[in-house]
Amino acid sequence: MTTTTPTTFPVAQLQCETDTGIETVPLAEEASFGSWQPSIPERYWGMDADELTRRIHAARETLGDEVVVLGHHYQREDIIQFADERGDSFGLAQYAADRGESKYIVFCGVHFMAEAADILRADHQTVILPNMEAGCSMADMAAEPDVWSAWRELEDFFGSTDDIIPVTYMNSAASLKAFCGANGGVVCTSSNATKVLEWAFERGKRVFFFPDQHLGRNTGHAMDIPLEEMVLWDWRAPAGNLGRATAEELERSRIILWQGHCSVHQRFSLAQIEQARAQYPDVKIVVHPECRYDVVQEADANGSTAFIVKYVQEAPAGSVIGVGTEINLVSRLAKEHPDKTVFCLDPVVCPCSTMYRVHPAYLAWVMESLVEGEVVNRIAVPDHQRQDAKVALERMLALK
């Protein structure tokens, strides 16, 4: 089979031992297709890369300015090539808030990102997520009833929650953004977490941060909050157990960290950094702040996906850069900067499996449906969540 969008990149020596090539295969040949959105019409299942690419281009041409395609940096090559705008989750939310003219925003990313766009979009716009099963396992670690239950326990323990500011990472359901909006809280992303926590500490004594413990801890540390003043809340603990924190830990806490994590970023380790430095003495290490505390401490720099892109772009020719983030982005950076050695710190390739679910067959399906006047896979945040979630998102966007 021929493919027009091969995504096998030149890899540096240290890179992944497993096959890094992520070639476009027909949907039916994808090993995990069984757990992706099955309602895509069967005629798309066997289409190869050539046909899908041709169809998406044709649909785009017909739709013209009616549609804008947004692509998160972790999207596969065969998708990102169609993105009018690429970005991190902050940049893409900002794009949606700027309310361009396009009637349809096709969001190539994961569910929580498309929800944020739907909350911020203009009235005349519709947000579409090509594959409704493209979620985020970290976001799934914070379910609304668990967060409410923890909040009530904190209220009982401290006597009130007046002094606790809830902060949700963008990687969370709209219901939790609404929870924050309704309870004096705010949303943050990996590109503005410090600013957001400063805002929160101007308003309260403690921050209740979810779902990513690592981003919360790394940000708290960067703000000189001692580790002993950040307590972990185990959401799997039965209610009434204070998330397995002790009363003393809670009393001295400034940040209460939800015990969530990203399984892609938790894979990066100190040993990988040591190995990279042993192999390339001049290597610079840049990681995403969803990595563990010790990894972020040891890295030369950390920041959002947009920060990592800029870091590599601005590095002088000849630089050697070990990156701790999702493989599609690292591979793209390696390809786009042949004058630099860019490699993934993790020797075992680990793409974000949910981002990967946005296969071009889904993009072709949603775009061709628009051509036929039908909207499929609309993201519609319910009205009862929209207003409060918008408050929390707009508080974040207002921080300069």
* Contacts to ligand SF4 by CB under 6 A: 110, 136-138, 171, 262, 264, 290, 326, 352, 354-355
Token pair for 213: 């413990």
Binding residues (CB under 6 A) for ligand 13P: these are 73, 88-90, 171, 189-190, 262, 288, 290, 304-305
Provide, rounded to whole angstroms, the least separation between the CB of residue 115 and ligand SF4. 13
| Residue (189 or 354) nearer to ligand SF4, CB | 354
Provide, rounded to whole angstroms, the least separation between the CB of residue 331 and ligand SF4. 15
| Residue (73 or 206) nearer to ligand 13P, CB | 73
| Residue (132 or 193) nearer to ligand 13P, CB | 193
Provide, rounded to whole angstroms, the least separation between the CB of residue 264 and ligand SF4. 4
| Residue (8 or 266) nearer to ligand 13P, CB | 266
Provide, rounded to whole angstroms, the least separation between the CB of residue 326 and ligand SF4. 5
Provide, rounded to whole angstroms, the least separation between the CB of residue 150 and ligand SF4. 20
> 1, exposed or middle or buried, with CB in 10 Å at 0-12, 13-18, 19+?
exposed
Q: Are 79 and 108 in contact (CB under 8 A)?
A: yes
Binding at 272: pick from ligand SF4, ligand 13P, none (beta carbon under 5-8 Å per type): none
| Residue (138 or 188) nearer to ligand SF4, CB | 138
Binding at 259: pick from ligand 13P, ligand SF4, none (beta carbon under 5-8 Å per type): none
Token pair for 325: 């983030």
Binding at 137: pick from ligand SF4, ligand 13P, none (beta carbon under 5-8 Å per type): ligand SF4
| Residue (9 or 90) nearer to ligand 13P, CB | 90
The sheet with strand 284-287 has its strands ordered as: 301-302, 284-287, 320-324, 341-344
| Residue (204 or 289) nearer to ligand SF4, CB | 289
Binding at 89: pick from ligand 13P, ligand SF4, none (beta carbon under 5-8 Å per type): ligand 13P
Provide, rounded to whole angstroms, the least separation between the CB of residue 357 and ligand SF4. 10
Binding at 200: pick from ligand SF4, ligand 13P, none (beta carbon under 5-8 Å per type): none
Cα separation of 294 and 302, whole Å? 12
Provide, rounded to whole angstroms, the least separation between the CB of residue 328 and ligand 13P. 11
Give the 3-state DSSP-derived string for the chain, with helices as H, strands as E and coil as C.
CCCCCCCCCCCCCCCCCCCCCCCCCCHHHCCCHHHCCCCCCHHHCCCCHHHHHHHHHHHHHHHHHHEEEEEECCCCHHHHCCCCEEECHHHHHHHHHCCCCCCEEEEECCHHHHHHHHHHCCCCCEEECCCCCCCCCCHHHCCHHHHHHHHHHHHHHHCCCCCEEEEEECCCCHHHHHHHHHCCCEEECCCCHHHHHHHHHCCCCEEEEECEHHHHHHHHHHCCCCHHHEEEECCCCCCCCHHHCCHHHHHHCCEEEECECCCCHHHCCHHHHHHHHHHCCCCEEEECCCCCHHHHHHCCEECCHHHHHHHHHHCCCCCEEEEECCHHHHHHHHHHCCCCEEEECCCCCCCCCCHHHCCHHHHHHHHHHHHCCCCCCEECCCHHHHHHHHHHHHHHHHCC
| Residue (290 or 368) nearer to ligand SF4, CB | 290
Binding at 354: pick from ligand 13P, ligand SF4, none (beta carbon under 5-8 Å per type): ligand SF4
Strands 126-128 and 104-108: parallel
Provide, rounded to whole angstroms, the least separation between the CB of residue 248 and ligand SF4. 32
Provide, rounded to whole angstroms, the least separation between the CB of residue 175 and ligand SF4. 17
Provide, rounded to whole angstroms, the least separation between the CB of residue 96 and ligand SF4. 17
Considering only CA atoms, which of 272, 268, 280, 288 is closest in space to residue 319? 280
